[in-house]
Each structure stands twice: as C-alpha cells, then as structure tokens.
Structure 1
C-alpha cells in the first residue's frame, strides 16, 4: 500500500456530512463553486432518536420583526445570558430564510409563516437530514464516506485542506482546498452515557480546530438529558421524549420514592430539564439509584389511552428495544450527555475562526447557546449558519489570488499517521478511551465540585501518560484501531478543556451545576476561552442591544420545563 493513495483538490472542503455539513455544501454548490464533503460514516446514516418535543413559540399572529426580537430574547434567556447576542440575532433574523430553503428541499411546514416548531418534534431531525441528502444528490456533490480526517493542513495561519485515511483499506487522502468548513459535531461522547452514536461527537472537531490554531469557547457547558435509556447496550443513551414528563410521568429512585419532592416540591418532574437531570444524578450518586446506575420513569398510573395517543413513539420504541410496555412497567433511565453548548470560537457574522479560511458550524461551534438552549435552535442554527458559512467559504475561495500550500505540513500529517501505525505498546486504545469516559462521568458529570474536578484533572494526566505506551493493531476488519487512536487524542483534548473550564466556572448556571457553588455569580457572566497554550481566559459577553434586553425576562425556575416545550 502506498502512503498516499488519493490526492484531490477543490475550492471548499466540508468535513462532516450531517445536517450542518450538507447545508453548507449545498450552499457552495448552488453558488457554482466546487465542493467536496468527507465523512466517517456513510451518507445514508441519519440521526436516531426516540423523539423530542417541539415548541409552540412563537405565537401565531406575530409580525416578522417581533418574532425575530422575541426569538433572540428567548435564546439569551434560555442561555442564562452567556450566549452571544450577535449570534442570537443572526439566527433569529435568518430563521425564516432557513425554513424557506427547507421548503424548497422537501419537508412540509405548518401553515404559519413564522412557526419555528414546524422544524422540531419527533421526526424533524431525520426529516431535515433526508431532505438535505436529496438536494445534495441532485446537485451532484461528491461525498467521500468512510474517510477519517486526522488533521487540517495549515500554513502561516491559513488552512489549505485536510489529511486523512480510509477506514477500510487505510489508503491516505490528501485534499487541497481553498477553505474548509468543519461540521464534525460536539464532544458529548467523552462521557460514559451519551445520546450520540458510536464514533460521533467525540471531540473530533474541537481537536482539529485547536490543532489548526483555533480556540474553544465554554466547553464546560454541556446539556444533560435526564431520560436516557440505561440499556440494552446497543440503544444505551437513546433519549425518551421529554413529553413523558409533561404528560405526567413520575421519577422514582430504587427505594420507590418520588424523589423530585426533595428538589422541587411545586413543579416536581415538570421543572426544568437541567434541574431534573441534576436531581436524578444526585440520587444515583448518593446510592439511591438502580443497580445499573439509573432511576425509574413510571407512566403506568396514566390511562393506557393517554400513553398510546400522546406518546405513541415512546411506547412503540420501548416495545421494540426492550420488549417493555410502559403502560404497565417503569423504564430505567439515567442522565445522558445530549448536546455540546460550547464549542470552537467563531465570529458571529459568518462563523469564521482564528484560522484564515476555516469555518466551524453546527454543534462544533460555540456562541449561540450559552448555558442552555431552546430545543428548536439546534435545527434552526444548522439551516442559518450552514447557508451563511457555506457562502462565506465560497466567497473566500473566490477572493484568493494564490493558493496556500506547504509540503512540510503535508509531510508532518503523513508522518503522524505512520508513527501511530508503528505504535506497539502494551496499552489498549479502547481501554484508554473507556477510562476517560468513566473519569468524565465520575468527576465532570451533571453535578460537579472543586475536589472532583481536581481529581479528574489528576486522573486525566495519568491517562495521558499511558497513551505514550499505546499499541495500534490493524486487522482484517480494517483500520478502526487507528481511528480509535485519533478518537483518544480528541477525547483527551476535549476532556482537559472541559475540566479546566468547569473548575474555573465556580457557579451554578443553566446546565452547569457546581454543588460547592450553588448560585449564579454575576462576575461569571462571561465567556471562558481555552487553548492548550493559554489555558482558561475570561472574556466579556458582548452587550445585548437595549430593545432585545427589554424582552429578556428574568430567568425563572420553569425555564425549559416540558410544558413550555409541548
């Protein structure tokens, strides 16, 4: 096998073929600019979920300007004032344009012209993804699947492509590009229980961007969903629709106690998602959880007809994966890492980064969500910034008078892969990965404290030292062990950034819970920026325009409750 099997060139390279990546690639292709997308998974892979609830906001009859302002205000309120107001305004301003684009691509909308909830709900994610796949195919966009990107190629602060390998035969890929759009997901896979699928959201985008010269913004801010399935293994982390709480489901610990009475006597299970997740985590941590590390979600007291008509997908899915009838028996659930709220620092106008020609979008990017998020924003963001960043990347390419190249950077990327392939130490890569995930769950899970974070950092340093003695074993199944080695590198970087920033954020705000600092610290209404060179640095959140600030209500304890999302 030759060390370099494939050399390609394009104007714009998109790393990642999920919703954000496909939307960006479509925008580039529709502008008549050459684009290639690369992805670890097959193009047919779509997000899997048991369903999530939509939102009735904004109200019918609202004017476009009013809707935009209220959307931005709602985003900032849900984000507990840590979201970038400029990003929130861009997403609100161009949300309707995103809906119009999707109308051209396929999925039907509700009749109301400003109904963001038309793109949330049980089937929204897969439906949008299928529509984007269809449009990408119509445009003939090349999507290289089964290709693992190991490094972005950078020279003098400017990106000029990417290097990677084929997961099956190990052949190398060198893709020269004028600009790169990074859409490779967040970092929720670095916890033991996560809703992301295997091989996804392991911090790839964080590592690729940081190694290229970018910074991370608020990596400690992670949304944990309280209702992830404990098992069986092949569906562990699959999320149960939040509507199960809204419809009257109760949570019980292993003593049969309805434990939410200890945490919110008024709202009980219907309080905010982050509070329910923290309560369930505390019950488990204090020994009142199930043997498998969960709690019980019980719907058996509800009329059978209510469950079948209001929660049909939840009922059917649990019958399929656990042969469990939720009208009769409780289901075992546990807090599950769901969404990276922070990410790579990007400019709000076009999601460009500290690296010339590099754009980051989707869950890989920080700025929009702050310490929590309205559920619909994850889809709206990919529609809005997929288009904006795709167009910006295409225009950047068109402006170039010379194409950046560096044989030395290519040789370094090639040598890095070859060095890992030659590693023959006694440390197992997958065991090291499991160790990091266990460490993050124990010391930087839903509820954190100073002692736990310090122990997490010490344990992480030990794992980092062991990686020097790792062994890579290529077998007839392909080059997956090499991929795990890069996954480990990504996981270690994302874990260190998360632990260091979580230690610095000594407050409880939104999805970030510090048991030793239970209140909001006004001085920490700030962005935590991280890079390996500088560590953690605070930066002020840009000011909110007066007309938006007037709409931002005081954050109340019912923010994010299931009733608000029904």
Structure 2
C-alpha cells in the first residue's frame, strides 16, 4: 500500500459518470428530502440525510437489494466508497453458477445444492444453499433480460463451463469478465429505476443501541464533511475481509472487514470467520512486479483445461487428486501447490506453472480475452507459454450471521447480504457461487425489506441521542485525522498482512495462532503512535480508518481459528489434521464488555431432495476435458 496526498482522489472515469453522479445526488435530495446542514453546540458542522432504506455497499449484492426495493415502489439510498460502478464485483471474472442444463441436461438445483454443501464440508446453512440454488436459474434469465451479454452455445443457449468441484458444466460466463459485465447490467437497471446513489462515502459507525439500528455515521471522502444517515433500515453489503492478508486478490482499499466490524460493534453476531479461501492461482509478484502480486488468475483458465506443473515439469495434481485434477476443490488445489513449493519443487519466484498452451490459440483468445491481454502486456503469451502462480487470499466464507429469508441480523432494522455474510459457503466456497449469492439472496432480502418498511420510515426524525452518537463519531474522526505520531497506517496494515499470512495462512497450528494474537496486541499498541497525513480527505486517513476495523476482524479470525481444533475446508490445522464430526458446528462471535465471546451452534440438515442428491454422489469427471 502507498499513501497519497489529500488531493490524490481517484476521479470519475469520464464526464458522463460525473454527470450521472451529480444527477443521482440531486435525485437523493428531491426524492427523500433535502440534505439538512446541522451544527453541534460546539460548532461542529455536518449533514443529515434521511432515507427509508440505507444500502451500504454498491457492488452486486447492494445493487440487487436496491433494485428489489425500487421495483416495490421504495426509494432506497445506495452509498459506496468508490465511483459508481467501481466495486469489487468487477474482479470476479470466471462466471456465475446456475443449473440451466445448457450443456448437461442432467443438472438441476438439487445437485447444485449438493455440490455446494460438499464443497463447504457441510458447515453451510442448508436453507441458504437451497435458496441460492433454486433462485439462480431465474436470476440468470433476469440478467439476460436486462441485457447481460452471456457467451452462447452454437444453438443460442447461455453457454456454461466447468468450475472446480462442480458435477456438471454449470458456470455461466461472459468470457473472463463476468463480474464486470454483471455489475454493468445491474447498474444499468438501477439507473433505469433512478435509484439514488452517493459515491465516495465511507461509513465508520452504525447508530445502534445494541438492539435496534437507527442509521449510520461517516464522512464524505472528497470533502471530509461528516454525514449522519438517518434510517430505520440499514443493509450492509460491503464485502469481506480477504485484503487483510499480505498476499490477496483484492485491491488494497477493498474487502478489509468494514461490514463485519460495523455489524459486530452494532450488536450483531459474526460466524465462521476462521474460514478464509486461498485461491490456488494468484500471480507471483517477483516475476510480474509488485503491482500484480497476488492478483487473481481466474479459475476459468483451469475450467477451460489449464494444467498445473511444478519446476520439475510434473503434473503434480496427479499425486493429490487423480480424478478431479486441477478442478478439485480450491482448498485441495491450494494446499497441493503449497506443498509442492514447500518441498522445493516450486519456481524461483515461489510458485508453480499454469499452462493452457495445449489448447487451440484462437479458443483461448475467445474464452479468456482478459487473461490473454493482461499477460501480453507483461510480455507473456499464454497461448504459447505457461504463467507462474501461487495461492492468494481470495474470499472469506465467514461474516455476519443472518436469516437468509429476510437478511435480518439480531439487531432490529439491520440486514446484511453478499460476501459480508456467512452461511452459503460453509468451510469452503464453490467457485462460481459468489456472484450467484449476491443476486439470489439480494433479491430475497430486498423483497423482504420492502414489506417491512412503513410510512413512518419514509422521513424518520433524528433524536438528540442519535445526534450525540453521530457527533461523538465525527469528533473521533477529526482526532484520528490529527494524529501526529511516528508510524503510518500503511506500515501497520502491511505488518498486519504479514502477521496473518504467517500465523493464519493456508497451514495453521496452535503455536502460530497464539503467537499471532500476541503480535496483534503489540501491533494494536503501536496505533497509539499513529501518524495521519493530509487530513480527512487523504488516503492516509482512509487507511487509518481501515486499520481500526481490520484489527477487530483479525482478532476474531485468529480466535476462532484457534478455537476450532480440527481441519475442515479452508481451515487446515497441522496439529489437528483430521475432520471431526463433533466440530460440525458454526462458531459465533459477539462483542461484550470482556471483549469477544465465542459460542457454538449446530448445523441444520438439508431437505429430502438435496439429501437424495448427496446420496447419489455426483462428481465431476475431469477427463471430459482431456
């Protein structure tokens, strides 16, 4: 990470986006009541915005919730940290799952659900899984209707490809830019519905008494002005926390635990934080440059037949998974790569080789255009030579604990959706299910909230107590911006990333996790000497805010990883290498006066149709690709 001066803000992509942003802000004022300027008794100035529903996060999940609300006649306000359309969804390249049966007509939603439960090592919420699998064919057709340009078969059906651990070809795609195309489609629909949107806004606290939420407090990242959002219904759709790690596939300013820390502080529970997915194929920085270190090489490369080789030119997945090979579960492939590197069979740059040059060059260019273009810009022709890859922190299965029919947390009026939540993916996510969850559950949550909003929510008043809580937060932010110590936020974030990679990475043990907690406490002590440069509108200040939430989520993750004394899915304990039936429980994290409390909760059983699919034992036959 690097710090930037106060005026180093990412501009809108072009004049049209700037115009759209201005129009959206004007729409906010026109349709939900004008933004009111307020001044505290000691002269602190800030803005108050009232809205029936506040959606925090502008990726696919937040957009889909807002679309459902708008289609129900409501006018939610969507806020995001970046420019409109610049969300982490765009980095999901490979595809989105739905049992359409375009190529394999034996596939159906029950097998999709069974694959998801198997990949999640049966820690998933079965109801969440089944809701997602059942909803997805309709959601794909909906996206198609809204203009998403899916790749097609020769007979015009939506094309589908293999993804790891899928029993059939189930992953719909737009080349290797599926997430980008999907977000463009959702934003297009949101604009058609004239959904209000505010960009470059960072939420730092939810207004909550621990039982009910009343809105949120934050600041305008371009002006530094405090913002009090008053709403009886708040949706957290702000992503996960994989960017806490030193090597990760996210941008440095995304997926750093905002949603989880906000929810925990407001009184909600978190679940399954110990499960962090390390994608098998991230770029290895020393060869391609620090800018690309950890950047995702889409699973579509393996889905289209890419093969993994070690430095001795062995196709090593034959040792670890002779039946499913490179398309086994992500945790299996990531550990296999790690073991090859640890055994001295890695490349000089600390990776292995991923090779798709045996496929027809035109086919590769057609199916993987962005990968071809990216590596060509770095001097590598993937149609002719292999690329170097190594595991990278990619996705967090854990998050906010919700009811999947409604999106509700245990705090009244607070909802969550997307990678911000836990439940669909269990101990390991099935590739292609992240985008699926956003639209499948996003619609259900939006539909439910629409029934919960009443006339009193349209223009909620602001109490003295709510103002006092927000003003206290604004003063805290100003104090943080004035910090003039010796250590920068980027230094501490880098140290945190290295700590987590070393102590809570692909392989874990009790000694390392306990050491990690000790090092985390020492790192937290160093925040007392923090230096922020450039004030409230600087990147330095943004990273300082990120640091505070990151430390909270990192502690919860380390503590749950220490508590789970077994290996399951993405959580691998070298001192407890077996999976134990007594540990088929979810670990719930809540905040209390003593710090973080961890509780257990049993996992429900799937429905009879899905149980039958599980008993059938469907499994990918990798050799279809040979």
TM-score (ref. length: structure 2): 0.82
What secondary structure, in the 3-state scheme, does the structure 1 residue paired with 2:139 have?
A: helix
Residues 423-452 of structure 1 show CA distances to partners (whole Å, capped at 9, x for unaligned) of: 222221110000010111111111222222
**Counterpart for residue 488 of structure 2:** 428
| Cα separation, partners in 2 of 1:60 and 1:250, compared to 1, 3 Å | closer
Distance in 2 separating the partners of 1:433 and 1:409: 28
Superposition RMSD in Å: 3.2
Shift of residue 480, structure 1, vs aligned partner: 1.9
Residues 460-513 of structure 1 show CA distances to partners (whole Å, capped at 9, x for unaligned) of: 1111111122122225x9322221111111211121111111122222222222
Distance in 1 separating the partners of 2:193 and 2:95: 32
Comparing 203-212 with 511-520, which one deviates more in the overlay?
511-520
**Counterpart for residue 352 of structure 1:** 408
Contact 2:120/2:429 (CA < 8 Å) preserved in 1? Answer: yes
Distance in 2 separating the partners of 1:306 and 1:31: 43
**Counterpart for residue 536 of structure 1:** 598
Distance in 1 separating the partners of 2:254 and 2:430: 23
**Counterpart for residue 375 of structure 2:** 318
Distance in 2 separating the partners of 1:151 and 1:430: 22
Contact 1:54/1:120 (CA < 8 Å) preserved in 2? Answer: no
Comparing 303-312 with 9-18, which one deviates more in the overlay?
303-312
Comparing 50-59 with 322-331, which one deviates more in the overlay?
50-59
What secondary structure, in the 3-state scheme, does the structure 2 residue paired with 1:393 have?
A: helix
Distance in 2 separating the partners of 1:267 and 1:93: 26
Q: Which of 373, 385, 398 matches 2:429?
A: 373
Shift of residue 104, structure 1, vs aligned partner: 3.9
Shift of residue 527, structure 1, vs aligned partner: 0.6
Q: Which of 362, 385, 397 matches 2:441?
A: 385
**Counterpart for residue 176 of structure 1:** 230
**Counterpart for residue 233 of structure 1:** 290
| Cα separation, partners in 2 of 1:265 and 1:451, compared to 1, 3 Å | farther
Residues 22-75 of structure 1 show CA distances to partners (whole Å, capped at 9, x for unaligned) of: 1111211222223111111100315444842666855359999x9333333232
Distance in 1 separating the partners of 2:622 and 2:420: 26
Distance in 1 separating the partners of 2:409 and 2:534: 36
Q: Which of 278, 284, 300 matches 2:335?
A: 278
Distance in 2 separating the partners of 1:490 and 1:509: 27
1:440 aligns with 2:500: yes
1:473 aligns with 2:533: yes
Distance in 2 separating the partners of 1:441 and 1:285: 15
Residues 282-321 of structure 1 show CA distances to partners (whole Å, capped at 9, x for unaligned) of: 344455544543333344566656655664442232102x
**Counterpart for residue 568 of structure 2:** 509
Shift of residue 179, structure 1, vs aligned partner: 0.5
| Cα separation, partners in 2 of 1:303 and 1:379, compared to 1, 3 Å | closer
Q: Which of 163, 171, 178 matches 2:217?
A: 163
| Cα separation, partners in 2 of 1:341 and 1:565, compared to 1, 3 Å | farther
| Cα separation, partners in 2 of 1:421 and 1:332, compared to 1, 3 Å | same
- How many residue pairs match? The answer is 561
**Counterpart for residue 65 of structure 2:** 24
Contact 2:206/2:215 (CA < 8 Å) preserved in 1? Answer: yes
| Cα separation, partners in 2 of 1:12 and 1:56, compared to 1, 3 Å | closer
Contact 2:99/2:137 (CA < 8 Å) preserved in 1? Answer: no
Shift of residue 246, structure 1, vs aligned partner: 5.0
What secondary structure, in the 3-state scheme, does the structure 2 residue paired with 1:457 have?
A: helix
Correspondences of 1:254-265 after superposition (within 5 Å)? 254=311, 258-260=315-317, 263-264=320-321
Distance in 2 separating the partners of 1:563 and 1:486: 49
**Counterpart for residue 577 of structure 2:** 518
Shift of residue 217, structure 1, vs aligned partner: 0.7
Contact 1:80/1:555 (CA < 8 Å) preserved in 2? Answer: no
Q: Which of 157, 172, 185 matches 2:239?
A: 185
Distance in 1 separating the partners of 2:544 and 2:617: 42
| Cα separation, partners in 2 of 1:210 and 1:399, compared to 1, 3 Å | farther
Comparing 539-548 with 169-178, which one deviates more in the overlay?
539-548
Distance in 2 separating the partners of 1:454 and 1:118: 42
Residues 66-86 of structure 1 show CA distances to partners (whole Å, capped at 9, x for unaligned) of: 933333323222211110011
Instruction: Structure 2: give runs of 5+ residues left out of the alignment.
Output: 1-38, 161-169
| Cα separation, partners in 2 of 1:119 and 1:246, compared to 1, 3 Å | closer
**Counterpart for residue 52 of structure 1:** 94
Instruction: Structure 1: give runs of 5+ residues left out of the alignment.
Output: none
Distance in 1 separating the partners of 2:617 and 2:574: 20
Comparing 435-444 with 156-165, which one deviates more in the overlay?
156-165
Distance in 2 separating the partners of 1:243 and 1:62: 18
Contact 2:96/2:434 (CA < 8 Å) preserved in 1? Answer: no
Shift of residue 174, structure 1, vs aligned partner: 1.0
Distance in 1 separating the partners of 2:602 and 2:468: 38
